[in-house]
Chain A
Amino acid sequence: MTVLDVRDLSVDFATEDGALQALKKVELTVPKNRIVGVVGESGCGKSTLINAILGLLADNGSVTSGRILFEEGQDLAHLDGAAMRALRGRKIATVFQDPMGALNPVLSVGRQMRDIQYRSGLSRREKDTRSVAMLRKVRIPDPEKRLAQFPHEFSGGMKQRIAIAMALMMEPSLLIADEPTTALDATLEVTIIELLKELQQQIGCSVLFISHHLGVIAELCDEMIVMYAGEVVERGTTRDIFHNARHPYTRKLLACDPARLSHRAARLPTIPGTLPDLRRRPAGCVFQARCEIADGVCSTMPPDAVVTEGHVARCWHTSEALAVEATA
């Protein structure tokens, strides 16, 4: 059973220099009770994807094709504001990247946690009891006292824990985590990842986890998609992709991660070239300009080639791709 099923999703932004296609034919499935990772470098469209799912695209952005099917088949891409709002927070919860700005600075943490339970019909005291229980779950020490405190009185790591507590309080079926650990130090990052994993199993929700950090994705996610310039270039189980990547970009990206090198290298691998201008996308494969195995056929749109069941790469040359390594 799937919780989220994104089909053929394209999103355009109107800019002064013409339409910018931020997402092109994105395919993504989040099965029930699974953690799906979205990985990609800056400009790959990760944030646009989340905003499209949450119905929070900027005013100049619009969904030009595709569907975002949620649970029983509601299409989030074409849901009206009220229906979307009814899902947000209750069925779909979100944790954002910036722990400093994610909480309202002039309202106490307790007040904010109470407010998001407005649909529960509980009394104020019952709401607070639930808030305390939730804060305890994310290991905030002394939660009763801390309810009355304001966000600036918490450290960055604690704020992110509070954000997670708030997101999971209504036991949503989908948690979207947008780079929740990027702003944190490494020792905090691992505790947050472990906390997320633990709570996900407890609550039994699905998670869509966005990160640029391959190690975090490898550790946390069951399945993943790799994005480049607004397209999903490869998707499959985390194991498939880390051990048997078939898109040249994925292979290069994996090779670039210095964490994969167990010894000091004479030269570190890189991916020469730059992202294409999303206002003037190349015909065909979006990665061809930076790909050494690209040939004539790559100037036509590549198919979503099936490597094995559930492992798909958007490339004409999935077999030749095995030879691709990043340029050192």
Chain B
Amino acid sequence: MTSEPLLTVSDLRVQFRMGGIMAGLSGQPTSIEAVAGVSFSLERGRTFALVGESGSGKTTLARAVNGLQVAAGGSIRFEGRELRDFSKSDWKPVRRRMSMMFQDPVGSLSPRLSVRSILAEPFAIHGLSGKDANAEVMRLLALVGLPRDFADRYPHQLSGGQARRVGVARAVALDPVLIIADEPTAGLDVSVQGEVLNLLNDLRDRMGLSLLIITHNLHVVRQIADSMAVMYLGRFVEEGETEAIFAAPHHPYTAALLSANPEPDPDKVHNRIALPAEVPSLLARPSGCEFHTRCPFAQDKCAADAPLPARVGASLFTCHFPLNPETGAALAGAG
């Protein structure tokens, strides 16, 4: 058996139509590319994090991988099969193998269903109700550390952390191999964030899951992800092993994101990379390197030519004038 990764995404593109006929006639662009040619792969049992600010396309990318969003181009290979041209009925068995968690812990649970019905739903959808549904619900509640009587609660009676646990339980109900988690800690207090990340880490180890995490929170990435990618305007600007990127980011945007995280230490002296300008609109992508409008290190070349992806060690980035070239070189030499 070949060691093909669990998930391989290549040159994936997602487009949204904008405006109506009028906009088209008046010469405005009629579509934007929210995901503009993204490639990565995820090995079994590993965690990959997509990082980016709002509007970077990370959620759209996750939904495209999950088939909730139609991709305009590229390929999604999962367990050795190409998902891009799958029909709705082809997708159904895939959904047992790949589940998704959504941002809002409470809002992603159907408001009028009890926790019991919510947890039994995956079995009902896939015609597995023959199994003792109640026993399965109890098993799942135990798995995520919730008391049995939570089965009779409704989503609005749960705290954010509890609702998130129910979401995790539902995601692992059918023994998937991949979980896509969109901002698993959004809206949760720090004391609860840890609980959720611990739970995800545990389940990954116990069930041999792979995780695809979407987040804007770099601390979360560091605590959970083996490798990561930084998205800007629908493209990856840097991708690699998490520890390597935290130690020595190559792309100025990655460095800016890392430096933009205020640390809870009043004596810390900050060496910030400030990004004063606004994020450009997807309707008017900048020329050359798309980050040059905000990059503090931009030179003439950056506005003219788009940089090609460069590899240093395990990291891949797109920048004409990368930071930390020496560390990068050292890594490359070591590898």
Contact = CB atoms under 8 A, between A and B. Distances in A.
Interface in A228-264: 238-239, 242-243, 252-254, 256-261, 264
Interface string A162-190: 00000000000000000000000111011
Given A42-B189, A258-B194, A187 B264 contact: no
Contacts of A11: none
A257 B193 CA distance: 9
Contacts of B259: 190
A258 B219 contact: yes
A320 to B, nearest CB: 21
Given A187-B275, A259-B219, A259-B261, A219 B191 contact: no
> Which residue among A186, A217, A252 has the maximum number of chain B CB atoms within 10 Å of its CB?
A186
B194 A268 contact: yes
Interface in B214-238: 216, 218-220, 222-223
Nearest to B202: A267
A136 to B, nearest CB: 14
B189 A218 contact: no
A261 B223 contact: yes
Contact of B270 (A219, A267, A269): A219
A242 to B, nearest CB: 5
B263 A258 contact: no
DSSP majority for the A interface? helix
B219 A219 contact: no
B260 A186 contact: yes
Contact of A253 (B190, B219, B261, B268): B190
A259 B257 contact: no
Interface string B67-91: 0000000000000000000000000
Given A185-B54, A213-B262, A270-B198, A253 B191 contact: yes
A158 interface: yes
Contacts of B223: 258, 261, 264-265, 268
B245 to A, nearest CB: 13
B149 interface: no
A319 interface: no
A190 B192 CA distance: 24
A41 B189 CA distance: 6
A236 to B, nearest CB: 11
> Which residue among A157, A187, A189, A269 has the maximum number of chain B CB atoms within 10 Å of its CB?
A187
A259 B243 CA distance: 15
A190 B260 contact: yes
A305 interface: no
B191 A270 contact: yes
A216 B262 contact: yes
Contacts of A270: 191-192, 194-195, 198
A186 B216 contact: yes
Interface string A277-318: 000000000000000000000000000000000000000000
Contacts of B275: 187, 191
Contact of B53 (A186, A191, A252, A269): A186
Contacts of A116: none
Contact of A187 (B190, B193, B194, B260): B260
B197 A218 contact: no
Interface in B229-286: 243, 256-257, 259-268, 270, 272, 274-276, 278-279
A258 B190 contact: yes
Contacts of B191: 41, 252-253, 256, 270-271, 326
B53 A187 contact: yes
B190 A274 contact: no
Interface in A119-167: 139, 155, 157-158
Contact of B198 (A189, A215, A238, A267): A267
A212 interface: yes
Contacts of A158: 278
A213 B217 CA distance: 12
A218 B262 contact: yes
B159 interface: yes
A214 interface: yes
Given A219-B270, A238-B266, A256 B190 contact: yes
A87 interface: no
Contacts of A189: 260, 262
A186 B159 CA distance: 26
Nearest to A271: B191
A103 interface: no
Contacts of B278: 155, 157-158
B314 to A, nearest CB: 17
A242 B265 contact: yes
Interface string A24-54: 0000000000000000011000000000000
A187 B256 contact: yes
A19 interface: no
A310 to B, nearest CB: 15
Contacts of A242: 264-266
A270 B278 CA distance: 36
A228 to B, nearest CB: 11
27 contacts: A139-B276, A186-B53, A186-B257, A187-B257, A189-B260, A189-B262, A190-B262, A190-B272, A190-B274, A212-B189, A214-B190, A218-B268, A219-B262, A219-B270, A238-B266, A242-B266, A253-B190, A254-B264, A259-B263, A260-B264, A261-B223, A265-B223, A267-B201, A268-B195, A268-B198, A271-B191, A274-B159
Interface of B: 53-54, 159-160, 189-195, 197-198, 201, 216, 218-220, 222-223, 243, 256-257, 259-268, 270, 272, 274-276, 278-279
Interface of A: 41-42, 139, 155, 157-158, 185-187, 189-191, 193-194, 212-219, 238-239, 242-243, 252-254, 256-261, 264-265, 267-271, 274, 326
Sort A-B residue pairs by CB-CB distance and give the 5 closest, nearest first: A215-B262, A268-B194, A258-B219, A41-B189, A271-B191
